[in-house]
Amino acid sequence: MNKATTFFDMSSGGKEKLPWTLIIIEADKPKAVEVFELKWRRNPHNVTCECCGSDYSISEYESLDAAKKQYAAYHHARKIITAKEI
Ligand SMILES: [Zn+2]
C-alpha cells in the first residue's frame, strides 16, 4: 500500500498559502515534498514568519485512508493527489 503525506497549512504570517487548508499526497514524505514543490513552486518547509513557525506541518501516514481519517474535519478544505496523478 502507498504511504501518504499530509501538508497542513499553519497560516504562518497570518494567512494560508494555497486555496486548501490541507493537502494530501499519496507518497512517502520525501517524494511528496518533491511533488508539492514541483506542482506549486513553493517550498513547504519555508518559514514565512519566525514567530508563527513553518508554513506547513508535514506528517507521513501508512495509507491515504489513514491520512484522511486523521484530518476528517478538513474534508471540505482539502486537496488530494493520488499516486496515479503523480
Ligand atoms: Zn507570526
User: Over the chain, what is the mean pLDDT?
Assistant: 97
Please tell me the distance between residue 46's alpha carbon and the centre of ligand 1 in angstroms: 13
Span from the CA of 12 to the centroid of ligand 1 (angstroms): 6
| Distance in Å, CA 10 to ligand 1 centroid | 10
Question: Buried b vs exposed e over 8-42: b needs ≥16 C-beta within 10 Å?
Answer: bbbebeeeebbebbbbbbbbebebbbebbeeeeee
| Percent of the chain whose pLDDT exceeds 70 | 100
* CA 83–ligand 1 middle distance (angstroms): 34
Distances in Å between the alpha carbon of 10 and those of 47, 48, 85? Answer: 10, 10, 25
- pLDDT digits over 19-57, tens only? 999 999 999 999 999 999 999 999 999 999 999 999 999
Which position has the grid cell 508535514?
Answer: 58
Kindly give the distance from the C-alpha atom of residue 82 to the centroid of ligand 1, in angstroms, as a whole number: 32
The domain containing residue 49 runs over which residues? 4-85
What's the structural domain count of the chain? 1
Q: Which of the four pLDDT bands, split at 50, 70 and 90, describes residue 67?
A: very high
| pLDDT of the residue at 14 | 96
pTM of the model: 0.96
DSSP designation for 78: E
